Every structure is written in structure tokens, then in C-alpha cells.
Structure 1
């Protein structure tokens, strides 16, 4: 579904991604783990076109999207829940979700998507008229994911969905990610919480200073000594 081949991405003179390659197959949950500054969010930005790769290629369902505009990438079926959630605090929950459906025209289908999101996140339905800025961190994360789902994505990019959340909320968010995947949405999960990410993923990639240093099944990465020492808190 998604194939990234040897991409290099720069922020000015900073060489953020140095030949990153990875793939996500249809139906999978694939996780990209790494420490702060490893290039995880830059990878998301390169896929979505907000920080285009200067070389290499990004192929989605057979189509080269490397230099495509972000809005057209969304139309092809890639949704993103960004790092830091980035909800529109002054707008209601319902309005935030409506923004997520900006590429769609069929009102009946959009109405059905609202119900699907509210089924997944009943708390959002209870607060649909509430300003997004007054929600808790966990509720804002639900809203960010729900907004991404409103575009009806084939591939959902989740950038640090557990960031800043209490442990019980982290567990709930990861359970919901599995539930979303079971509805047929393929997921690329970018996470610092490697332990949780590898528990739900099929496969994983380790990113260090802009390079993929390791890739394997999630189970194999969980038992890899280097991964355990660096990311799982055990030797």
C-alpha cells in the first residue's frame, strides 16, 4: 500500500531524513519507533507533503505522491492525526470533525462517518457542541483521530497518539487503534512509547538520527536486546 524508497528530507541545511525506506502492507499496523529527534514526525510530514522529500520516492497504492500537494494526498486516502493533536480549540467538536471531511462531497456518506466516529468515541458525541479547547488531553486525542477518520482514509498516520496522556488513557487509545484497524483501515503508528506500540503492531521499524537501523516483526523487536535496552527499559 505504502512504499517509501530512500527518501532524503531537509529543513533548510538540516538533513533530517537520510535515506529512509519502509513499507506498509494493506491491513497492517506498522509502527515507527525512535527517540525524540530521530525523524519520526519528519517521515509523516514527508508522506503528507508538508515537508516534501528532496529525493527518493513515496508510492501510495501504485501512485507516486512524493511531490504531490497535501490536499490531493488526503483525497487519495491518507489521513493523519498529527503530533500534538492540533485541534481547533475555538471550534466545537462537531466543527472539528466537519473540517476532517473537507475533501468529501456526499452528505449522506459524511453523516454516516459522523456516526461511525461517535460510535468509536462516545465521549465526543456527549461533547459534540463543546469547544475543543475545553476538552481533556485524552478527549482531544480522540478528536484528532476522529477528525482524521472523517476523510475516510485507507491509510491512517498516527503521530505520537499517546504523548502526554495518563497511563489508563494510553491503554484506551491503543485499544481504539486496534479497533480502527479491524474496520479495514491500515495504520502507520509513530510512537515514542515503543512498548505499547510493539504490543499492537504487526511489524516495526527503528529510526535513529534520520536512518532506519532495524526492521522486523513486532514480536522479534520486542525480544531484540538492543531494542529492549534502548526503548523498552530493560537490558
Structure 2
């Protein structure tokens, strides 16, 4: 479904991605783990067109989308739930969700997606008229993921969904990611909580200073001594 080939991206003079290669197959949860500054968010930003690749290619469903504008990438079926949630605080929950459907015109199918999001996140339904800025951190994360789902993506990109959340909410969010995947949405998950990410993923990639240094089935990565020492607390 998604193939990233030899991707190089710069922030000014900083060479942030150095020949990144990865693949996400339809129906998978694939996780990208690594420490702060490894290039995880840059990878998602480049896939979605928010950042421009210096060289390399991004292919989605056998189409080269490397130079495609972000709004068109959403229309093609890729949606991002960004790091830090980035909800619109002065808008209601319902208005935030509506913005997620900006590429769609069919009111009937949009309403069906509202129903799906509210079924996944009952708390959002309870607070749909509430301003997003007044929600808790966990509720804002639900809203960010729900907003990304409003475009009916085939591939959902999640950037640090557990960041800043209490442990019980982390478990809830990861359970919801599994539910979203089981409903047919492919997921590429960027996450510092490597334990949780690998526990729900089918496959994983380890990113270090802009390079993929390891990739394998998630269960195998969990047992890898180098991964355990660097990212899993040596468990």
C-alpha cells in the first residue's frame, strides 16, 4: 500500500532523513520507533507532503505521490493525526470533526463517518458541543484521531498518540487503534512508547538519526537484545 524509497529530507542544513526505506501493507499496523530527534515525525511529514523530500520517492497504491500537495494526499486516502494533537481549541468537538471531512461532499456518507467516530469515541459524542480547548488531554487525543478518520482514510498515520497521557488512557488509546485497524484501516504508528507500539503492531522499524537500522516482525523486535536495551527498558 505505502512504499517509501530512499527518502532524504532536510530541515535547513540539517539532514533529517538519510535514505529511509519502509513499507506498509494493506491491513497492517506498522510502527516506527526511535528516540527523540530520530526523524520519526519528519518521516510522517514527508509522506503527507507537509515537508518536501530532497530526494527519494513515496508511493501509495502504486502511485508516486512524492510531489503531491497535502490536500490531494488526503483525498487519495492518507490522513495524519499529528503530534501534540493540534485540535482547534476555539471550535467545538463537532466543528473539529467537520474540518476533518473537508475533502468530502456527500452528506450521507459524512454522517455515517460521524456515527463511526462517535461509536469509537463515546466520550466525544457526550462532548460534541463542548469547545475542544476545554477537553482533557486524553479527550483531545481522541478528537485528533477522530478528526483524521473523518476523511475516511485507507491509511491512518498516528504521530505519538500516547504523548503526555496517563497510563490508563494510553491503554485506552492503543485499544482504540487496534479497533480502528480491525475495521479495515491500515495504520502507520510513530510512537516513543515502544513497548505499547510493538505489542499491537504487526511489524516495526527502528529509526536512529534519520536512518532505518532495523526492521522485523514486531514480536521479533520485542525480543531483540539491542531493541530491549535501547527502547524497552531492558525488560
**Shorter-chain TM-score tier:** over 0.9
Aligned pairs (5 A) from 1:56-67: 56-67=56-67
Q: SS where residue 113 of structure 2 aligns?
A: helix
Aligned mates of 2:67, 2:213 — CA distance in 1: 26
Aligned pairs (5 A) from 1:19-168: 19-168=19-168
Q: SS where residue 165 of structure 1 aligns?
A: coil
Q: What residue ranges of structure 2 are gaps of 5+ in the alignment?
A: none
The alignment's C-alpha RMSD in Å is 0.5
Aligned mates of 2:116, 2:217 — CA distance in 1: 31
Aligned mates of 1:168, 1:52 — CA distance in 2: 37
- Provide TM-score, normalisation by structure 1: 0.99
**Shift, 1:148, TM fit:** 0.2
Q: SS where residue 7 of structure 2 aligns?
A: strand
**Shift, 1:74, TM fit:** 0.2
**Shift, 1:52, TM fit:** 1.4
Q: SS where residue 147 of structure 1 aligns?
A: helix
Aligned mates of 2:165, 2:67 — CA distance in 1: 34
Aligned mates of 2:226, 2:204 — CA distance in 1: 14
Moved over 4 A (4+): none
Q: What residue ranges of structure 1 are gaps of 5+ in the alignment?
A: none
Q: Which residue of 2 aligns with 1:231?
A: 231
**Shift, 1:133, TM fit:** 0.3
Aligned pairs (5 A) from 1:193-208: 193-208=193-208
Deviation per CA, 1:167-218, whole angstroms, max 9, x where unpaired?
0000000000000000000000000000000000000000000000000000
What is the aligned length? 235
